[in-house]
């Protein structure tokens, strides 16, 4: 990720080598334009692998760097059985992109949260560098596609918790320069039960200007609704399933799912027994439901591997995605919707964030607002 | 007194080999005066009523490269966060003034800026408190463009003694040596201004790359702990480093050292931190000054230091670090960043050659960054980032 340092140079910051990314909805591939890659009469598992080979999984939440921290030594390319994620299993699971969550130890705030976030970003980069044959750092949709073209798994940094910002837009900008791409809007005074404060709204606007995607998993309903209406870029829920099927505070009720669908956001369903239930079929039920309520363009996957969560049976590590996709095919999902679920929806959100940032940077300078000036 | 011709000659020299200044606290001044409201202090216009530094005066002073200090106070409750905000300030300045300020991370960037007639802008962190005892945070600062770190400011850190605090570690601790090694591996210059002489010696022992003193003068000329003792200056040729003379009167002129001790006492008596430069604090300062006139340092005072540093360290190991906007007072003739030509004229009159002056202003400082990054490339090929923690290396004995 040494190339991030080039961001200091204005010449490198203006990046027009991806004209296709100028249209935020361009990533939406509708069924009528979709070209099938599998034999519709094939066995579900065979079809699942064929589809995933063309449309791999962009996994919205993975905690590998933190899990590796307790190991004295690791080799991700060879395989590392003490964790859920390594290159051989990412390949057999057809994972094409991973979001690495930056986990702050419980209760950290203020300067310790900022410092711990810098350490997490550093740790993530060290892990990527240790595995250059398998992993490739990425910030933009174009870089994700580039990693895939090179046969590498793209690694994006985030979500991080909002306390990482130290209540400062200047710090948000520096974390973005260090590669942070997703920020979860919980755990701070400016995004609480009552919704966003004025400073919170300014944070969202500055995230739009930078291209940092808002993650609303765990946020209060007023915060969710305000961000959905305020954000010019698509938002996501990094770990939320359907509350109708399973009552969990981070799962989404149908009204919010419908609003998310209207706003073309993205609900990434976690593969955890706690949020989705103990079987592959339970997970598929959530995906069915969210697809029905929010739409096929608004649902994706978060493996949540190496984060300490218990997973449904048969979905124990990053190699297991074909089993889940086979189940969806058995339920009659067409290929186009599977491709949206695994890859295209995440790419669309990334492109949308890139596009919004580029447009906003033409229009306005960095915000100098402070929390003390807006929230007192 | 310098002659008109030597001043003209100085300006001509600077047009070819401008000043690389090792330390300027403009970001701190912008933070403390206007909380980064860059419209309220537009450095494209004359800011002499508020600041030592603005672009017109940098141009008049022949400055071609500036290490902007991203200093935060040692008693800051959030030193890491505040340092990131200081870095953001420098970036906002760069974004606002692309025609005058050129972002620079390497010696090649500095040369490119010189070629384009822009001011290469680098960043230095002033004090190990900015990394909160974390090598991961140190690497984060490097990733954000910080190219030197002063190991301490006025107070000790857990792993290094400051020149102006009670000795505790006796120099660098084991973790302190690891910080130096990791800075070497990254290509971040080790800055030994502000540190105790014991720390200077330990760092020279530990460092495999050239070091700098971003703003320090010679202790043999003025016996102040912020200055560099001769035995350390004499080690610079072997190390390859550069000592950048500072202009701060209370470090370079003995009478000013004494006066400052009394003035600081007066500030404390009025409930102000001695380094406070807010309007109220400066009022107290001025009242004191009316009662007891402040001894004036001059261009000659600074030149005396350079003559000695050149003698002790050699012409390849001297540079300039004015500490503008980081000091309440400045010498006569060096009142602000437009004053460097006066210093060069004085040195010309003292017999410094044009080649000597090109080393002093530009070449030495560019060389030292280049050399440090060269060392880093070698080290990165042989060792991974350090995972060491202060707990693992500096655990109390027993």
In contact, B245 and B302? CB cutoff 8 Å = yes
* Both tokens assigned to B63: 């400055």
* SS3 of A199-210: HHHHHHHHHHHH
pLDDT tens digits, one per residue of B49-83: 999 999 999 999 999 999 999 999 999 999 999 99
d(CA B324, nearest CA chain A) in Å = 24
* Both tokens assigned to B173: 């601790």
DSSP state letters, B20-39: EEEEE-HHHHHHHHHTT-TT
| Residues of A whose CB is below 8 A from B103 | 8-10
Q: Which helix (H) or strand (E) holds A295?
A: none
**B38 CB near a chain A CB, below 8 Å?**
yes
Task: Check residue B1 and give its pLDDT.
Answer: 55
**CB atoms B36 and A166 under 8 Å:** no
Q: What is the pTM of this model?
A: 0.93
Pick from B293, B3, B317, B275: nearest CA to B153? B275
Q: What is the mean pLDDT of residues B164-186?
A: 98
Q: What is the mean pLDDT of residues B150-161?
A: 98
The Cα A120–Cα A98 span in angstroms is: 16
Task: Check residue A222 and give its pLDDT.
Answer: 98
Complex ipTM value:
0.93
Which of B 81-100 lie inside 8 A of A, CB atoms? 81, 84-85, 87-89, 91-92, 94-95, 98
* Both tokens assigned to A191: 């995004």
pLDDT tens digits, one per residue of B19-57: 999 999 999 999 999 999 999 999 999 999 999 999 999
Q: How far is CA A167 from CA A76, B130, B172, in A?
A: 36, 18, 34
| Residues of B whose CB is below 8 A from A1 | 143
First to last CA, chain B: 62
- 3-state DSSP call for residue A213? strand
Q: What is the mean pLDDT of residues B98-121?
A: 98
Per-10-residue mean pLDDT, chain A, length 376? 40 32 44 82 96 98 94 93 97 98 84 96 95 96 95 97 96 98 97 97 98 98 98 98 98 98 98 98 98 98 97 98 98 97 98 97 95 94
Domain residues of chain A, as ranges?
56-363
**CB atoms A8 and B80 under 8 Å:** no
Task: Check residue B274 and give its pLDDT.
Answer: 87
DSSP E strands: which ranges in chain B? 19-24, 63-69, 101-103, 119-126, 146-150, 189-191, 211-213, 242-245, 318-320
Is B126 a residue of the active site? yes
Give the CATH number of domain A56-363; options: 3.20.20.140, 3.30.1310.10, 3.30.70.980, 3.30.420.40: 3.20.20.140
| Residues of B whose CB is below 8 A from A110 | 77-78, 81
| Topology (CATH level 3) of domain B17-247+309-323+352-380 | TIM Barrel (3.20.20)
Query: How deeply is A271 buried, as exposed, middle or buried, from its count of CB atoms within 10 A (0-12, 13-18, 19+)?
Result: buried
Q: What is the mean pLDDT of residues B298-323?
A: 98
Q: How far is CA B152 from CA B33, B118, B179, B322, in A?
A: 24, 31, 12, 18
Is B50 a residue of the active site? no
* Both tokens assigned to A165: 């910002």
Q: How far is CA B268 from CA A64, B119, B280, in A?
A: 52, 38, 13
**B115 CB near a chain A CB, below 8 Å?**
no
Pick from A274, A295, A208, A158: nearest CA to A24? A208
Confidence of residue B128 (pLDDT cuts 50, 70, 90): very high
Task: Check residue A30 and give its pLDDT.
Answer: 54
Task: Check residue A14 and give its pLDDT.
Answer: 31
Is B52 a residue of the active site? no
**CB atoms A119 and B134 under 8 Å:** yes
Q: Which residues contact A76 (CB under 8 A, 6 or more apart)?
A: A85, A86, A87, A127, A130, A131, A134, A135
Domain residues of chain B, as ranges?
17-247+309-323+352-380
pLDDT tens digits, one per residue of B236-271: 999 999 999 999 999 999 999 999 899 999 999 999
In contact, A111 and B81? CB cutoff 8 Å = yes
**CB atoms B84 and A166 under 8 Å:** yes
Q: Which of B81, B91, B94 is facing A111, going by the closest CB pair? A: B81
Q: State chain B's mean pLDDT as an integer.
A: 96
pLDDT tens digits, one per residue of B330-367: 999 999 999 999 999 999 999 999 999 999 999 999 99
Which of A 255-284 lie inside 8 A of B, CB atoms? none
Is B129 a residue of the active site? no
Pick from A123, A246, A259, A304: nearest CA to B135? A123
Is B285 a residue of the active site? no
| Residues of A whose CB is below 8 A from B143 | 1, 4-5, 121-122, 125, 177-178
Is B316 a residue of the active site? no
DSSP state letters, B180-248: HHHHHHHTPEEE-TTB-HHHHHHHHHH-SS-EEESS--BTTTS--TTSBPHHHHTTHHHHT-EEEE---
Among B52, B102, B129, B153, the one annotated catalytic: B153
For an interface test with A, give the residue of B84, B142, B381, B390 to mutate (most A CBs within 10 A). B84
In contact, B233 and B313? CB cutoff 8 Å = yes
Is B224 a residue of the active site? no
**A171 CB near a chain B CB, below 8 Å?**
yes
Task: Check residue A20 and give its pLDDT.
Answer: 33
pLDDT tens digits, one per residue of A72-129: 899 999 999 999 999 999 999 999 999 999 988 777 888 999 999 999 999 999 999 9
The Cα A286–Cα A270 span in angstroms is: 10
For an interface test with B, give the residue of A4, A74, A170 to mutate (most B CBs within 10 A). A170
């Amino acid at each position: 990720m040494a190339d991030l340092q080039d961001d200091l140079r204005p010449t490198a910051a203006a990046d027009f080598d991806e004209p296709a990314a100028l249209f935020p909805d361009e990533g939406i591939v509708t069924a009528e334009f979709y070209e099938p890659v599998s034999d519709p009469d094939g066995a579900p598992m065979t079809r699942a692998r064929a589809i995933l080979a063309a449309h791999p999984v962009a996994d919205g939440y993975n905690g590998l760097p933190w899990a590796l921290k307790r190991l004295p030594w690791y080799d991700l390319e060879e395989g590392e059985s003490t964790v859920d994620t390594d290159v051989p299993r990412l390949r057999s699971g057809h994972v094409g992109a991973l979001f690495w969550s930056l986990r702050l130890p419980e209760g950290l705030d203020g300067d310790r949260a900022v410092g711990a976030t810098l350490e997490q970003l550093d740790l993530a980069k060290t892990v990527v560098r240790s595995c250059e044959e398998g992993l490739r750092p990425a910030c933009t949709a174009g870089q994700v596609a580039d990693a895939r073209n090179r046969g590498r798994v793209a690694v994006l940094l985030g979500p991080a918790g909002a306390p990482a910002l130290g209540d400062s837009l200047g710090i948000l900008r520096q974390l973005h320069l260090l590669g942070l791409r997703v920020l979860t809007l919980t755990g701070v005074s400016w995004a609480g039960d009552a919704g966003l404060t004025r400073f919170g709204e300014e944070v969202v606007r500055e995230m739009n200007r930078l291209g940092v995607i808002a993650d609303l998993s765990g946020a209060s309903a007023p915060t969710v609704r305000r961000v959905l209406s305020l954000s010019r870029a698509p938002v996501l829920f990094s770990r939320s399933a359907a509350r109708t099927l399973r009552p969990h505070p981070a799962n989404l009720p149908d009204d919010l799912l419908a609003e998310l669908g209207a706003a073309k956001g993205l609900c990434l369903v976690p593969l955890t027994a706690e949020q989705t239930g103990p079987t592959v079929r339970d997970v598929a039920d959530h995906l069915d439901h969210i697809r029905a309520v929010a739409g096929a363009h608004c649902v994706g996957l978060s493996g949540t591997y190496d984060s300490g969560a218990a997973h449904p049976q048969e979905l124990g590590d990053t190699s297991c995605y074909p089993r889940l996709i086979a189940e969806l095919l058995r339920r009659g999902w067409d290929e186009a919707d599977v491709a949206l679920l695994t890859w295209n929806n995440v790419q669309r959100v990334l492109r949308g964030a890139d596009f919004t940032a580029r447009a906003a940077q033409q229009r306005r300078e960095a915000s100098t607002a402070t929390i003390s000036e807006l929230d007192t | 007194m310098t002659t008109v011709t030597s001043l003209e000659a100085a300006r001509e020299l600077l047009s070819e080999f401008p000043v690389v200044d090792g330390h300027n606290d403009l970001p701190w001044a912008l933070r403390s005066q206007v909380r980064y409201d860059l419209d309220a202090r537009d450095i494209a216009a004359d800011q002499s009523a508020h600041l030592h530094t603005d672009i017109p005066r940098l141009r008049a002073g022949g400055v071609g490269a500036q290490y902007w200090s991203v200093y935060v106070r040692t008693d800051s409750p959030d030193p890491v966060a505040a340092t990131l905000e200081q870095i953001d300030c420098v970036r906002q300045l760069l974004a606002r003034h692309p025609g005058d300020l050129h972002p620079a991370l390497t010696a090649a960037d500095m040369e490119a800026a010189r070629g384009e007639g822009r001011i290469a802008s680098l960043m230095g962190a002033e004090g190990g408190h900015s990394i909160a005892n974390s090598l991961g945070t140190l690497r984060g600062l490097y990733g954000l463009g910080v190219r030197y770190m002063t190991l301490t400011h006025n107070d000790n850190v857990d792993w290094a003694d400051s020149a102006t605090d009670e000795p505790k570690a006796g120099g660098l601790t084991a973790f302190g040596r690891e910080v130096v090694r990791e800075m070497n591996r990254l290509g971040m210059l080790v800055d030994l201004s502000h540190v105790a002489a014991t720390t200077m010696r330990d760092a020279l022992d530990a460092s495999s790359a050239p070091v700098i003193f971003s703003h320090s003068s010679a202790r043999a000329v003025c016996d102040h702990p912020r200055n560099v003792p001769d035995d350390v200056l004499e080690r610079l040729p072997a190390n390859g480093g550069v000592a950048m003379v500072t202009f701060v009167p209370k470090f370079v002129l003995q009478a000013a050292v004494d006066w400052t001790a009394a003035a600081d006492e007066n500030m404390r008596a009025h409930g102000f931190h001695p380094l406070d430069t807010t309007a109220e604090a400066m009022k107290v300062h001025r009242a004191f000054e009316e009662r007891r006139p402040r001894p004036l340092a001059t261009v000659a005072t600074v030149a005396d230091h350079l003559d000695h540093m050149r003698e002790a360290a050699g012409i390849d190991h001297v540079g300039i670090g004015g500490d503008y906007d980081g000091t309440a007072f400045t010498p006569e003739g060096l009142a602000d960043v437009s004053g460097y030509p006066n210093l060069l004229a004085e040195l010309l009159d003292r017999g410094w050659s044009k080649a000597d002056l090109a080393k002093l202003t530009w070449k030495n400082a560019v060389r030292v960054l280049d050399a440090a990054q060269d060392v880093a490339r070698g080290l990165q090929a042989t060792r991974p980032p350090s995972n060491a923690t202060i707990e693992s290396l500096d655990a109390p004995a027993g």
